[in-house]
Structure formats: C-alpha cells, structure tokens
Structure 1
Amino acid sequence: MHHDTIVALATPTGAGAVAIIRISGKEAIDIAAAVFESVKGKDLRNQKTHTIHLGTIVDGAKVVDQVLVSVFKNPNSYTGENVVEISCHGSTFIQQQIIQLLLRKGCRMAQAGEFTLRAFLNGKLDLSQAEAVADLIASDNEASHQIAMQQMRGGFSSEIHRLREELLNFASLIELELDFAEEDVEFADRSQFTDLLNRIEFVLKRLIDSFAVGNVIKNGIPVAIVGEPNVGKSTLLNALLNEERAIVSDIAGTTRDTIEDEMNINGIGFRFIDTAGIRETADYVESIGIQKTFEKIEQAQVVLYLFESAKFHADGQQYRTEIEKIKNKYPQKQVVVVLNKIDLVTEQQLQEIQSQLETLDVKRILLSAKNQEGVHELKNELYALVNTGALRNNETIVTNSRHYDALLKALEAIQKVKWGMESQVPSDLVAIDIREALYYFGEITGEVTNDELLGNIFANFCIGK
C-alpha cells in the first residue's frame, strides 16, 4: 500500500488564488510528466531535483490550466520519495480536473496524513516529530507554535533518544553478564548504572511535570467567570474581548446559559466562559444555567470569582466565607478574586476593602469592567498564572497525551529497575524491567510501533499532509 503513488490537495479546500496538488511515490515524476507540457519543451523526468518549471497541464488536446511544477527527487524530499507539487489556479473546478486526471494516470487518493506517514516510514521523521507536524498546523498562538516547532526539529525526541541509547548500552552489558553467568563476571559498572538511573528518573519527572503546562498551552486555558447575578460578569467578558460578546442589562439573571470565547494574551490562548449568576431561584431555565455554571467551574483551570465592591464593603465577612468555600471545594484550581465596580465606592471604602482582602490567601484584582479600569492588570495576572519559564529557557515541554502516558510507564519501569538494584534482585529480573523501559522510550519516537497505533495517529491529520 505504501509503495504506490498518491495524490491530494495540499492547500485548504475551496476557491482561492492558488492551490497546490501534491503527488508522492515512485511514479510521481513519470505521471506528472505525462500530463505536463513545459513552455520550453523540457521533460520533467530529466530535470534536477528541487527545480520549478512553468507549463500547462493537458488532458489530451485539452489544456486544463497553466501551472508551476516543483520536482523533488528521492531521498531529498519531505516523504523520502519522488514528490511533485503542482501549483495551479485556485478554482475548485481546476483542482478537481487535475486530480481526476492524475487518478486516471495511475495515482491513488491519499489518506489522511499519508504523506507524513511515508516520511516516518522512510526515516525522514520520527513519530514524535510527525505528530508535531499536526500540532504545528493546528497551532493558533505563539506558545503552541513554539512548542510544536521545537518538537518538529527533534528537541524532545533527541532527548528521549539519548536516554534510550545510554540505557540500551547498559542493558547490553547486563545481558552479556547473563551469557557468562556461570563465570560470575560483571561487565556493567553498578555505580555508573545507578547514576544513569537517577539521571533518567530526574529527566522523566521533569518531562512529566511539563505536561501540565504544555497541555494548557496547546489546548488553551479555560477560565470560568463566576459570581452572583448582576456583578458584571458579562461586562467583564466584553471588556476582556473588547467587543459586545455577551448581553448586558441591569436585570439580574440576564445570562441564563454559558457563553464562551477565546483570546490571546502574550501568545497564550485563554478560553473565557461567562456563566449564569449563582443564586437561589424558582425560575426553571435559570436554575439549569446555574447548574451549568458549577459544571464549567469543574472544567476550568482558573476561576475568576466576581464580587460587587459596594456589597463586599458592606458584608465582607460573608463574602470572605464564600471565597474560602470555593478555595476548599476546588483546591487544584487557581482562584482569582475580582472586585468589580470600584468606580461606585469611595477611596476610603476601597482601602477598607483592600485591608479585608489581605486576610485571604488568594490573588485579587480591583477593577471597573464598565470603564475598562484594571482590565489590563487582570490580563497580566492571568498570564502570570501560566508557567512560561520553560518556554523562555527553551526547555522541552510535553504536550501530547500519548507521550505523557508512555513517560509515566517508562518512569514506573525505571523505578522498578532502581528498586531491583538496591534490593540486589538477580540480573535476569532487572533486565526484564530495563527492556520494559526501553519499550516505552521506543514507543514515543516510533522505534517500537504497530499498525493500529500509526492508524490512530495519522487519522487525525488533514488530507494532503
């Protein structure tokens, strides 16, 4: 299946100025040459790799389009095979005419991600780099783009590969000892091996810990805006997004369902969720909205708990109790207390509110969403909640749940090896745990794989990549 010649549209579907049709396989150049007429009479089969040629695509006597054809000869191409890219005009009719012509000449329609799958099978990319290609295409902010680029260049896989190579060297020595078990010899230095295991354990724990940051950077950070009715939640959402996204009125309970929208703060994606006001109500529809509010709090990683400044000043103790309840109920979430409508209290009242808040161990922001006062400070606080130190230091960050799972299993196996060494377990049993760790390292980079795994990974790619 992976030795035939495939074709697909490499640019988004629909009309545009230009479209690119990609062909890959042993017969790619021959098939393209059969339908291409160069303006200078060139034969594509005799042209050098990495060259571009102007001409027309012809179907018998019929001219389909004037095109540019790029030629890439194996192994110096994306897939490691002969590759031809046809840049044609972006009419959907022209695109389909050229693809159908190529299919009649011997191509097969590519499956999702099949070009990148061939790049992996031909050794142009390892599996983690191939997955980074999909992440790069899907990146919608600077941080996720930076992580995907680092992984695609091999930053993550090279770190895993180094650890695997060192572990494999020691495993080989221990296996050699087993062959000479009757002679009671040691080829592997146990103290060096222990040092290596400690180092591998440290690196694995760092990579595992980075997933918490990487996952939110890749998928965006969900932020729930909660509080009583009419404290300005929808106004705050509009102020953050700088548009009238949510309906605002003086009537308590206006927002009856959750409203979501996304924005980028300093390269990090945030998904804001405006929720229904929390209160006791006999209104059936509003009560459903309130129930959804608590569901969204469960899903969020950051909770913006809004209060009205004047009410907080009048009954600070009650609200401090509410804040403590939220903190205790959701200990794993970042809770930011937001005092809104500060334009409706005096300077002295504001100072008194500040002193009441100092008794609470929470991050707090005072603002007027209506007047856009303090909104910038809130954005800075949200950005500060994300640990971007690893990005600044160009450290490896794990964003893929498959990698995360394999790292956890590799760490478990390494810890078994350490325990076996400390407990003087026989070498043949230690060797089993080492093989298990090597297996999970190889699973990340694709040195160990199977058809089902590859199918699951590349099925999520776009066709044409």
Structure 2
Amino acid sequence: MNYEETIIAPATGMQSAAIAVLRISGEKAFEITEKCFQPKNKKRKISEKSHALIFGDIIDNNGNWIDEVLVSVFKNPNSYTGEDTVEISCHGSSFIIQQIIDLYLKNGARMANAGEFTLRAFKNGKLDLAQAEAVADLIASDTQAAHDLAMNQMRGGVSTKLKELRKQLIHFAAMLELELDFTEEDVEFADREEFLLLVKNLQTHIQALIDSFQYGNAIKDGIPIAILGKPNAGKSSLLNSILNEDKAIVSDIEGTTRDSIEDVVIANGIKFRLIDTAGIRETEDTIEALGVERAIANAKKSKLVLFLYDTENTHPEEIIKLLQPIKNLGIHLFLIENKIDVRNGFNPEFFNSDEISSLKENFASVKNLGISAKNSAQVSDLMTEIASLVKDWKNTSDTIITHARHKEALEKTLASLQATQQALEMNIPGDLMAQDVREAIRHLGSITGDIEVDRDILGTIFSEFCIGK
C-alpha cells in the first residue's frame, strides 16, 4: 500500500440518497480537485484556506457538467487523516457518485482500501490504534451502551489509562537499566519495596481492565441469551412476547420447535441476541434429539440462560438434572416459572434453599421469578431485570475494553508483571528482571500502537472498516 498516493472513496456508500459525500485525501487532493471542480466564485482557490466550504460545479475532462456540489477543504495537518483532504457533497445518485469517482481516478487518484483513511490517520499520529478501532465500533454501534463505549474509547479513554500504566513501567525499567550500567559499583537506584508495591498496583489495574472485557465485549456484540426448558414450557411464547412478533411457532403440541431460532432485541439500551431452543427431554426422535443437542450447545455459548418451567409438569430435581451439561461455565441463570396466570401465582418455594444454594455453586448467579409469557408487562419487567444484571457486570472503573486483541495483550502484560513480582520477592538480579518489565511495556504498547505493530495485524484491524472510513 502506497501512502503517498491520493485516494478517493464514497463516505456515504453507493446507494441512492438525497445527498452523498465523497472523501479525497493525499498529497495531490487539492491539485486533482482544481482540475475537476470549478467554483461559482472564479476567484476562489481550493488550497487558499483550510476548513472552507466552496460552492461550485464538477466538470469532466471534456468540459461536461456532472453535478453542482459543495466542497469542504481541510489542509494538513488539520484534517482527519493529517493530509490535505477534500470532501465533496453531491446529489446522491449512484450514477453521479460513480462519475465523480471515475473523473478523479482519471486525474491521478486511486480507490481507497477499506479503512485506509483511518489507517492514514493512525500513521500520521492523529489517533492511536485503540482509538482507530473505536472508530469502527462507533460506526457499527446500534445501542446507547455500545455508542457510549465506542465514543469513550475514540476520545482516548482506554488509551489514556494504558499510557499512564505504561509510563510507570517505563520509569521502572529506566531505573533497572541504570543499575545495570553501574553493576561494578553495586549501586541500587531502584527501591525494591517501592517497586514491589508498584508492580502489585499495576497488576490490580490490569486485572480490572481484563475483567471489564466481559461487559465491554457483550455490549459491543450483543449478549447471547438462550431460552431453555422442557417441551411446551412456553419458550416460543416468551420469545414472541419479547420481540413483539410471531417469530416462533406457538402450539400446544410438544416438540414444535426442533431447531434454534435467533433474533435480536434492544432493551434498556443494551443489545441482546435471543436464542429460542428445542425443548430439552430424552427422546428417540432423531431430528428432535439433534435439536436438543443444539439447544445445549447454544446454552454453553451464552452469557445468560432463561430456563422456563411449568410447576405442573416438572419438579426441581428434574430441572437440576437438565441443567447439568451447562454448569460451571460462568453462566448467569434465570429460573422462570411460566404460566403463573393459570397456576395461582408464582411459587417461590418450588425450589428449596438447598437446591438454590447448589445451583449458585455451579452458576455465576441464580435468580428465580415467575411470569406469564403472554403478559407483556411482566415480560418487560423481566428484560429490565436482565438489563440490570448486565449493568452490574460493569466494574467501578470508567475504562472498559471491548476487543479480544486488547484482552489478549493485557493478559500477556499481567503474566510479565507476575513474573516481575516473583523476581522482586526472590531478589533476582535486575538484568533478569528487566526482560519481564520490557515484555510488559511491549504488550501494553501493542494495544495503542506505541510500538511497531505487525503489518498483518494492521491489515486485519483496518480491513474491518467500511470503504470511505
């Protein structure tokens, strides 16, 4: 990829709309635009002033009029990419968009690759790697919670925290390196007790960031919820009530749902991925058995499980047995008595205290409540309860990570810090300890791009962007 070339791409896509925006960035952005654009005010020059709006016409190389447009001018380094940048607001005809792109290509520009504008912003120091990833997250956000997380990260919330921790480690490393320069004089610049406290404190902060991934990633991608239960427990009715549509088949015949049905709902600003599964029971029906197997597999991949039951056709021991395949996986469990409208209300004593205690040992959390899946108010209260639980996952820190790449780097940082702590406690020489400290610094720097990042990693990150960003 040649970063000296001038690039162009539609920032608003190729679909027809009232208006469209095309973005041009690079060394020759102004020069090429001067060839393609004629201001209404003949005295205006594209390059004379940054952050200017110029009204005029796009004219092709043969003098043919293409469109009447508004051009926005951003001179380097005060642009998104840090390069000379032009944004053209034109009429949103896909034909017009393509005509303008073709004209720029003929005059020396090339089509931008996915995410190349943001990649150039990263290369030019306009934002770091974590902030660049947040740009993609912001574009993809479809809930208030996801938007807020992406905006915080894009504004440097994560980066500021990581750079602060890395700065402390660099100071520690500098003291160790200074000691190595004076080995023969047996001079100790680094107070071991002070550094031990520092390393322990850093581990606490790093662990908190790692723990925040459960919440951050779930908010970004949507929280998977599996709806489990015996056949005809009302699982499909619950899904339909949550979605407010007849997504699943509702029938009095047991085993109607033989495969998983998935859909997305946004409740209390949080996205949930709901999975209605086949009823769980022992069966000799090959197709139904496959549905049961998939139900268990989906539950194992979920953060939350809603287990619906009817007190008239089951008992606690049976439910506990059915839950055996998904225990000890960190799943949050909701035990939901359904059909309370025809069962004289919710029976909180259906499970005794020992049974609830046993379940709490095998699940991240356990809640027992009653609803009628056909009662929209009760279903709404259930979703509020679930959203409240999810918000409790958020740690006390405002810094939350949302990317698996960040989590992996933090885990490697933590391992290096644990090795450093062990070295300090065993009074191991500084030259051996320095290697672990350098590794911790390197892993932290890989998140923000403060160290040289592998080209393949950059390619993976920016390939996930849309063209034009």
- TM-score, normalised relative to structure 2: 0.93
Contact 1:194 1:418 in 2 (8 A): yes
Select which of 448, 457, 461 maps to 1:457.
Answer: 461
CA displacement 1:406-464 (0-9 Å, x = unmatched)? 00001111111111111111111111111111110111110111222211111111111
Question: 2-side partners of 1:256 and 1:355: how far apart?
Answer: 32
Partner of 2:193: 191
Partner of 2:348: 354
Distance 1:180 1:324, change over 3 A: same
In the alignment, is residue 93 of structure 1 matched against residue 90 of structure 2?
no
Aligned partner letter, 1:57: I
Partner of 1:17: 18
Secondary structure in 2 aligned to 1:181?
A: coil
Select which of 416, 419, 428 maps to 1:416.
Answer: 419
Secondary structure in 1 aligned to 2:341?
A: helix
1:193, distance to aligned residue in structure 2 (A): 1.9
Question: 1-side partners of 2:326 and 2:47: how far apart?
Answer: 71
1:337, distance to aligned residue in structure 2 (A): 0.9
- In the TM superposition, what are the counterparts of 1:110-121 in structure 2 within 5 Å? 110-121=112-123
1:286, distance to aligned residue in structure 2 (A): 2.4
Select which of 432, 436, 441 maps to 1:433.
Answer: 436
1:14, distance to aligned residue in structure 2 (A): 1.0
Question: 2-side partners of 1:26 and 1:178: how far apart?
Answer: 47
Aligned partner letter, 2:425: E
1:161, distance to aligned residue in structure 2 (A): 0.6
1:45, distance to aligned residue in structure 2 (A): 3.3
Secondary structure in 2 aligned to 1:386?
A: helix
Aligned partner letter, 1:399: T
Partner of 2:52: 51
1:46, distance to aligned residue in structure 2 (A): 4.0
Question: 1-side partners of 2:319 and 2:339: how far apart?
Answer: 19
Select which of 336, 339, 343 maps to 1:338.
Answer: 336
Contact 2:235 2:276 in 1 (8 A): yes
In the alignment, is residue 209 of structure 1 matched against residue 211 of structure 2?
yes
Secondary structure in 2 aligned to 1:305?
A: strand
CA displacement 1:45-102 (0-9 Å, x = unmatched)? 3431011111110003100011110000000000000000001111111000000100
Contact 2:30 2:86 in 1 (8 A): yes
Contact 1:22 1:85 in 2 (8 A): yes
Secondary structure in 1 aligned to 2:421?
A: helix
Aligned partner letter, 2:341: D
Moved more, 124-133 or 449-458: 449-458
Partner of 1:326: 323
Select which of 276, 291, 301 maps to 2:293.
Answer: 291
Partner of 1:315: none
Secondary structure in 2 aligned to 1:356?
A: coil
Secondary structure in 2 aligned to 1:279?
A: coil
Distance 1:329 1:255, change over 3 A: closer
Distance 1:373 1:54, change over 3 A: closer
Question: 2-side partners of 1:378 and 1:358: how far apart?
Answer: 22
Aligned partner letter, 1:386: V
Question: 2-side partners of 1:324 and 1:292: how far apart?
Answer: 17
- In the TM superposition, what are the counterparts of 1:137-216 in structure 2 within 5 Å? 137-216=139-218
Secondary structure in 2 aligned to 1:286?
A: helix
1:368, distance to aligned residue in structure 2 (A): 1.1
Secondary structure in 1 aligned to 2:376?
A: coil
Question: 1-side partners of 2:239 and 2:284: how far apart?
Answer: 26
Aligned partner letter, 1:319: P
Partner of 2:264: 262
Aligned partner letter, 2:410: L
- Taking only aligned residues, the RMSD between alpha carbons, in angstroms, comes to 1.7
Please, which runs of 5 or more residues in structure 1 have no aligned partner? 313-317
Contact 1:33 1:43 in 2 (8 A): no
Question: 2-side partners of 1:20 and 1:430: how far apart?
Answer: 54
Report sequence identity in percent: 49
Partner of 1:401: 404
Secondary structure in 2 aligned to 1:306?
A: strand
Partner of 1:280: 282
Aligned partner letter, 1:444: I
Distance 1:136 1:293, change over 3 A: same
Question: 1-side partners of 2:286 and 2:14: how far apart?
Answer: 45
Question: 1-side partners of 2:392 and 2:50: how far apart?
Answer: 42
- In the TM superposition, what are the counterparts of 1:66-105 in structure 2 within 5 Å? 66-105=68-107
Please, which runs of 5 or more residues in structure 2 have no aligned partner? 357-365
Aligned partner letter, 2:18: A
Aligned partner letter, 1:264: I
Contact 1:309 1:342 in 2 (8 A): no
Moved more, 273-282 or 171-180: 273-282
1:195, distance to aligned residue in structure 2 (A): 2.4
CA displacement 1:219-238 (0-9 Å, x = unmatched)? 11111111111121111101
1:327, distance to aligned residue in structure 2 (A): 5.7
Question: 2-side partners of 1:388 and 1:15: how far apart?
Answer: 43
Moved more, 377-386 or 20-29: 377-386
